[in-house]
Structure formats: C-alpha cells, structure tokens
Amino acid sequence: MRVAQVCDLEVEAANGVSRAVATLVEHLARLGVELECWNISSAVPAISDRTIRGVRVLDLPARGRALGMLAGLPDPTRDAIRQRRVDLVHFHSVFIGHNVHAARLLGVPYVVTPHGGYAQAVLDGSNRFAKRLWLAGWEERYLQRARVVHAVSEAERDALRQRWPGLSIRYVPNAVDLPDLIGGVPPASDDFVFLGRLATDHKGLDIMLRGFARFARRGGTGRLVLAGPDWRGCRATLQRLAEAEGMADRVVFPGPVFAEAKTRLLAGARAFVHTSRWEGLPLAVLEAMANATPVLVTPETNLAAIVTRYRAGVVCRGDPDAIADAFSALASAPEAEKRSRRQAARRLVEENFGWPRVRRDLMRLYEDAVATPPGTHTANPVQ
C-alpha cells in the first residue's frame, strides 16, 4: 500500500501531533508500507523534495492561512497533488484550509485524524465565529467525504459520533515506543515535570502553576519544571505568574528538551503533570508513563479512567485547589505506593499503547478505508 501523510516530517518536535506522525511513519515503514509526506505550507517557496530517514518529503507551496482558505492552493501545488500515485492519503489536525482544498483534488480515499481539534473548548475558543463558518461551509463536507475519521481516544470517538452521527469513525489510540529502563525502575527526584509547548490555555499551565504554589505554601517540597518551547509569548506570562505567586525560584523553564535529555527528565521526575483543558490523546503523558513515571492528569486528557484503573497516578479537577491536593497526594504517598505507581505507569503503556498492537489496528483501518466503496460507511470502532 502506498500512503501519503499530509504533514512535515519532524523527528524531534515539541508538538505532540508532529511527534505522533513521525513515529507513525517509522512504524508503518516497518510493515512494508510505501510512505511519503506532503508538507503543504506557506513557508515553502517552491516545490522540492528531500528524504528524512528513508521517507520522501514533498514540500508544496501554499498561500497564507486566510487567503488560502478562500483561494485554495497555488496551481503548481494542485498539479503536483493530482499527479501523485498513492492508494490513500492521511490528513492530520483541523481548520487547515490547504488540507480541505487538497482533499478535493484527490481521486483516492482519504482519512482524517482531528487529534482532539473538535473538542468543545476549541470550538468555543479563539476565532469561534470564523471556525463555525468554516465548518459549515467547507470542513463538514471534507469530513463527510473521508472514508474514515480517526479518533485517538474513546472520548474523542464518542464526542465525534454525537456531533456527526453519519460519519465513519474509528478509534485507534496514539502509541509510543517503550524505552529500556536501565536497572529497572529509575529513582525519582523531587521535581514535578511538564513537557510540551508552553501553551497556557490549552495545557492548563496557569492552573497548574497556581496549584503548585498552593502546594508549596503548605510545605510541599521540590520544583515545577515547565520544559518546552515558548508558544505565543506564554513563557513570559507564566514567569510573571510565578513571580506573583512567590515561586520564581521553584518554577523553572529549561526550554525545549529532546533525545536523551528528555528521557532523563521524564524518568527522573517525581511525577509528570498534565492539567489540560482539552486534548485528543496527549503523547507526552504516554511517553512519561513509558519511562515509569506516575502522572497527575485532568479528565480532559482523556486518560483519567485508565490512569485510575491502573493506579498509575492521580486524577483531579482542573482548578488550583484540586491540583494542589493532587501534588500533596503524590508527594506524601508511602515509598511502596510510589514504586507501585511507577511500575503501574509502565505496565499501562505496555498493555494499551505499545506500537505492535496500534500499528496492526491502524493498518486494518487503512485497508478498510481503501476497500470501502465511496459513499458507504463502516463505523465499527477498532477496540
């Protein structure tokens, strides 16, 4: 099967969607899938191609966001897409005009993965009126023409079915590689760690920081490490908030962390903290648990039920007082319970989010998408 992933291929990225696609490409290639990536972007000056880890990346120019939504793709890009010889195209994320316009040019089936982008908090957030107009005018038809809309969590699948009951929606989760744990479960520091884009509203970093400050004022020890690249000036806002809370020396911003440094940071954390206001399925939380790190999560991560079932961490509401209580519960737990949580976190990923199972289910999704006649729907979820 020949499959095009519509994305840039970023092997090291802070964005969870980019990391998810990069590892997806790697694992599908191991199954013998012929892959290429279409990087459709206004930052591309002219059509070109390159190879990353044996995968062809085709760079295709696009117009700017607003103009591109209205005017579509430039003629050279349209011609290049029409000429590609693939069996299936896989689009990622939402409210991307060039994805919608590219889909209209295809003579082959396509799959769409929203990655949580249709969560109610997103639809009600910034530019909500423009989003509603775009959905009604363009994006809903794009979804209706997709052979499959791929949900990365059960909660996302259920929400998509409720919003668009006529779509073919299948659930296959994100997956992560399981790193080797030298000497078994590593020892923990006193640091609570977040890793990802410093997107305050999306990731709930403001309530996380306020919750940590309340925990610290009660006598809680350790630091809050907010690792990742700035996002639209959020780092400066968070630094001002840390100063206002009297936490300037206990909330640290090491910047982006990758490769071995990232593994050490995750594996050595007291807990990984992710207090999102909305998500699809956050890859960073899976990566932390794969490194045997317990987690503190809100229900909006779509991981609350399974974290609770495995006893792999603490689940709390997304408000500062509840988050402070969760910090305290993690810090004050007996050593045996802390070890048990670390082991449970690793086991949770091994049994539910490892690549062997996920790539099998995703290949079945692809095969069904190609085999399903246009205009018909098979909405049976992959469990």
Q: Where are the domains of the chain?
A: 2-175+355-371, 192-352
Decide if 2-175+355-371 and 192-352 have a common fold: yes
pLDDT of residue 369: 97
pTM of structure: 0.92
Confidence label for 378 from pLDDT (cuts 50, 70 and 90) = very low
More confident residue, 60 or 187: 60
Q: Are strands 192-195 and 295-297 parallel, antiparallel or unpaired?
A: unpaired
Q: Among positive and negative, which fits the CA dihedral 117, 30, 288, 308?
A: positive
Contact 92, 7 (CB under 8 A): yes
Q: Write out the H or E segment, with its range, that includes residue 20.
A: helix 16-30
In this model, does residue 380 exceed pLDDT 50? no
Record the tokens describing residue 53, joined without a space.
């880890």
Fold of 2-175+355-371: Rossmann fold (3.40.50)
Looking up tokens 């009600």, which residue turns up?
Answer: 124
Which residues does 307 contact at the CB level (< 8 Å), separation at least 6? Answer: 295, 297, 313, 314, 315, 348
> Burial level of 163, CB count in 10 A (0-12/13-18/19+)?
middle
Contact 256, 229 (CB under 8 A): yes
Helices marked H in 245-352 — which ranges?
259-267, 283-290, 304-310, 320-332, 335-352
Asked if the 192-352 domain carries CATH number 3.20.20.70, the reply is no
Q: What is the arithmetic mean of pLDDT over 144-168?
A: 96
Contact 22, 54 (CB under 8 A): no
Mean of pLDDT over the chain: 93
